[in-house]
């Protein structure tokens, strides 16, 4: 993963459903974002970071599986001002698989939402999509 000298706020968020085991949610997020420092409250699990390396597994997944166009479309479709986002399937993440969701409903227990905010958001999207 190549480095980028651009400031970016990365937010990771998912709801805790009454039927879910909190430990499994923590595992799901940690499988995809191993260095995420999790914040847990009664209804959600979240993490904030400014370190782009937290996206390393996403970056590798995009390039290893040739998913640049799919992620680019999602990131551009969800772009508003200096922020974009995408959903990941929570159940897939639990078993260590990265699965992009176009709609929140594609993940039956709710998705993991990843929000990227930067004054240079176009550079962030390009960095994530284009491999050098």
State the chain's mean pLDDT as an integer. 93
- Of 45, 58, 44, the C-alpha closest to 8 is 58
pLDDT digits (tens, 9 = 90+) for 35-75: 999 999 999 999 999 999 999 999 999 999 999 999 999 99
Residue 18 is assigned to a structural domain of this protein: yes
Domain membership of residue 4 (yes or no) is no
Domain membership of residue 3 (yes or no) is no
Find the CATH number of the domain harbouring 103: 3.30.1440.10
Residue 75 lies in a domain: yes
In a domain, 1, yes or no: no
In this prediction, residue 130 carries a pLDDT of 84
Asked if residues 50 and 7 have their Cβ atoms less than 8 Å apart, the reply is yes
- Within-domain flag for 65: yes
- Please report which confidence band the pLDDT of residue 2 belongs to, taking 50, 70 and 90 as the band edges: low
106 domain-assigned:
yes
Query: Domains in the chain: how many in total?
Result: 1
Which residues constitute the domain of residue 41? 9-129
Assigned domain for 2 exists: no
């Amino acid at each position: 993963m190549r480095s980028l000298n651009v400031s970016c706020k990365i937010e990771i968020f998912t709801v805790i459903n009454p039927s879910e085991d909190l430990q499994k949610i923590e595992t799901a997020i940690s499988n995809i974002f191993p260095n995420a420092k999790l914040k847990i409250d009664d209804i959600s699990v979240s993490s904030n970071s400014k370190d782009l390396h937290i996206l390393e597994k996403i970056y590798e997944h995009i390039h290893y599986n040739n998913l640049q166009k799919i992620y680019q479309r999602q990131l551009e479709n969800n772009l508003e001002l200096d922020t974009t986002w995408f959903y990941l399937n929570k159940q897939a993440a639990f078993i260590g698989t990265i699965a992009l969701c176009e709609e929140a409903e594609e993940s039956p227990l709710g998705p993991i939402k990843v929000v990227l905010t930067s004054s240079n958001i176009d550079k962030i999207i390009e960095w994530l999509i284009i491999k050098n």
